[in-house]
Amino acid sequence: MSVAALRYYDELGLVPSSERRGRVRYYTRDGLARLAYVQLWHHDGLLSLADTQAIVDSDTVGERNRMIEEQCESMKERVRSMSRAVAVLEHMLGCRTDKARDCPVTGGYIRARVDAALAGDDFADDFLPPAPTR
């Protein structure tokens, strides 16, 4: 872990202040355990530092679990979005037409989106093309 990151974590109060001897920081075993706990949430759990701090500083298991459930739901939605993005990109890779407008799938999507915009309608942005046949 970089010195700058340790300093920043210290400033945020994520890790206990370290003992300093000259330019070197020394952490107690408990301080290192706290740092590992923070890294579990931030690096492995992919939480922001603010969310990490909120969870690490939570007073009760119930409060912590509520925050974790919110994070899980948010991440599941991001996974669904990323899965849709992968499906679109894989379709585009497997599409045999030179122009997206000529593809029955993407062309239909483009026309439907333009028609909805011209009609002032909302457009369901759930383009999930069939898996390409290669």
Q: Cα separation of 27 and 21, whole Å?
A: 11
Domain of residue 22 covers 1-47
Q: Is residue 4 part of a domain?
A: yes
Q: Is residue 35 part of a domain?
A: yes
Q: Is residue 126 part of a domain?
A: no
Read off the pLDDT of residues 23-55 as tens digits, 9 standing for 90 and up.
Answer: 888 889 999 999 999 999 999 999 999 999 999
Q: Is residue 57 part of a domain?
A: no
The pLDDT confidence band at residue 19, using thresholds 50, 70 and 90, is confident
Closest CA to 96 of 111, 85, 84, 107: 107
Burial group, residue 41, by CB count within 10 angstroms (0-12, 13-18, 19+): buried
Q: Supply the pLDDT for residue 87.
A: 87
Q: Is residue 12 part of a domain?
A: yes
The pLDDT confidence band at residue 126, using thresholds 50, 70 and 90, is low
Domain count along the chain: 1
Q: Cα separation of 38 and 13, whole Å?
A: 11
Q: Supply the pLDDT for residue 129.
A: 57
Q: Is residue 14 part of a domain?
A: yes
Q: Is residue 121 part of a domain?
A: no
The pLDDT confidence band at residue 112, using thresholds 50, 70 and 90, is confident
Residue 131 has pLDDT above 80, yes or no: no
Q: Is residue 107 part of a domain?
A: no
Read off the pLDDT of residues 77-99 as tens digits, 9 standing for 90 and up.
Answer: 999 989 988 988 888 888 888 88
Q: Supply the pLDDT for residue 21.
A: 84
